Amino acid sequence: MSDYQNPIIRWVEYRLPILSFIDHSVGRHYLAPKNLNYWWNFGSLAGIALAIQLATGIVLAMHYVPHGDLAFDSVERIMRDVNYGWLLRYLHANSSALFFFVVYVHIFRGLYYGSYKYPRELLWWLGIIILFVMMATAFMGYVLPWGQMSFWAATVITNLFSAIPIIGGGIVEFLWGGFTVGNPTLNRFYSLHYLLPFVIVGIVFLHLWALHVHRSSNPLGIDVQGPQDMIPFHPYYTYKDLVGLGVFLLVLCGFVFYAPNYMGHPDNYIPANPLQTPPHIVPEWYFLPYYAVLRAVPDKLGGVILMVASIAILFAVPWLDTSRVRSAKFRPIFRQLFWIFAIDCILLGFAGAKPAEGLWLVIGRLATVYYFLHFLVLLPLVGWFERPKPLPESIHQPVLAASAGAAVVPPEDRR
């Protein structure tokens, strides 16, 4: 490539064009829409959170002992005697929670700006698959310290599979590697907890591949029309992402150094005891909304199906949303529905944190009904009946176009 002056780099490039590959992926030659706001930071932040998890996790694995009798002690040894072991473990635990936070913001950004719409459906799907694998990884990681919550979370979650008719019991024993949660369970969870992050890395590459085909969506939701609408990823978005990274690290380190157990549960500092059930088994906060959906249904199988469906329904969103206008900016009714939906999800989280009884059970049920109502009824209907605001002519002249009264182009003709 003539781009490079250095003879060594030219030599490498001629044989393995890896530098130009990077350059075309996240460098000067990858063009992105020029109007991406800070909500678009969360994709790269998720990547960095994954990298932090891998780096800290690999070192933790050097000190952790995956055995039912030794796991809890080995974690305490990491906390007390391993050099900076406390830092590694607190980083790993807190950044896993922030990883979910970042990914949730990323998903909600996609929902708000219609990033899932044509032609980015597969990009969206890959993201949902990443979420599923992340959830499995996080769950198995939570089991590893082998505290009371670890043990009983493992018991509750693996037991969900017993709801499957006929083969359910067999699946549960297969997952356990025995007839109860025990040492074999811990061992296989450890193995998978080490494996799955690399599976995520693989899917992330597919996610980025799909992203680069049609590039990022943007806050206006209209297609880029030419070079005047775009800027090189580097230096513009590398620098913008770095600002977000600084803020992310500040939040992460705030938790790690000053409230490291804030998001954890005290019961997980009690060693696992199969004979004593904690009074109140709760998952980590990032699973609470699903937990509320699970418990909203009086029937076990129904609850499990609904819980899985609450995420799987995201696969159908590109078709459930019948509007061709991407950005909520130009969809006055959808925008209100989006915020109500966001509040509904938070409400589900609170319902999941409470014992499934009384008022909170009712709230959890209503919020669950609304969750599915939003996707299955409101999303299709609003696309048909809503009158979108006029879309700007182009990204580089949105202000000009708007002030000139902008030709009202029916959204159907804009594809």
Binding residues for other proteins (CB under 8 A): 34, 73, 76, 79-80, 86-87, 90, 231, 235-236, 239-240, 242-243, 245-247, 249-250, 253-254, 256-258, 260-261, 266-267, 269-270, 279, 332, 335-336, 339-340, 343, 346-347, 350, 353-354, 363
Write the CB contacts of 5 (distance below 8 Å, at least 6 apart in sequence): none
Residue placing its CB nearer to other proteins in the complex, 207 or 240:
240
d(CA 126, CA 129): 5
Catalytic pick among 24, 29, 212, 234: 212
Residue placing its CB nearer to other proteins in the complex, 22 or 346:
346
Polymer length in residues for the chain = 415
Cβ neighbours, 10 Å, residue 147: 25
Residue placing its CB nearer to other proteins in the complex, 158 or 268:
268
* Residue given tokens 């992330």 in the structure block: 204
Catalytic pick among 95, 96, 162, 216: 216
d(CA 56, CA 46): 15
Catalytic pick among 117, 193, 207, 240: 240
DSSP secondary-structure letter at 223? P
Catalytic pick among 284, 321, 344, 386: 284
Task: Say whether 216 is catalytic.
Answer: yes
Task: Say whether 284 is catalytic.
Answer: yes
Residue placing its CB nearer to other proteins in the complex, 314 or 345:
345
d(CA 208, CA 116): 14
Smallest gap from Cβ 324 to other proteins, in A, equals 22
Give me the sign of the Cα torsion angle 326, 327, 331, 336: positive
d(CA 61, CA 69): 17
Smallest gap from Cβ 19 to other proteins, in A, equals 21
Residue placing its CB nearer to other proteins in the complex, 242 or 377:
242
Residue placing its CB nearer to other proteins in the complex, 155 or 268:
268
Smallest gap from Cβ 390 to other proteins, in A, equals 17
d(CA 373, CA 379): 8
List the alpha helices (DSSP H) in 259-357. Answer: 288-296, 300-320, 332-353
d(CA 391, CA 220): 8
The residue type at 96 = S
Smallest gap from Cβ 393 to other proteins, in A, equals 17
Q: Is-contact 406 390, C-beta < 8 A?
A: yes
Smallest gap from Cβ 375 to other proteins, in A, equals 19
d(CA 48, CA 384): 39
Smallest gap from Cβ 47 to other proteins, in A, equals 17
Q: Is-contact 219 327, C-beta < 8 A?
A: yes
Residue placing its CB nearer to other proteins in the complex, 140 or 149:
149
Smallest gap from Cβ 6 to other proteins, in A, equals 24
The residue type at 126 = L
Cβ neighbours, 10 Å, residue 379: 23
d(CA 10, CA 17): 9
Nearest C-alpha neighbor of 360 from the set 256, 261, 282, 244: 282
Task: Say whether 344 is catalytic.
Answer: no
d(CA 183, CA 379): 46
d(CA 284, CA 264): 7
Catalytic pick among 241, 321, 344, 386: 241
Smallest gap from Cβ 345 to other proteins, in A, equals 11
Residue placing its CB nearer to other proteins in the complex, 166 or 250:
250
Q: Is-contact 93 260, C-beta < 8 A?
A: yes
Catalytic residues: 212, 216, 240-241, 284
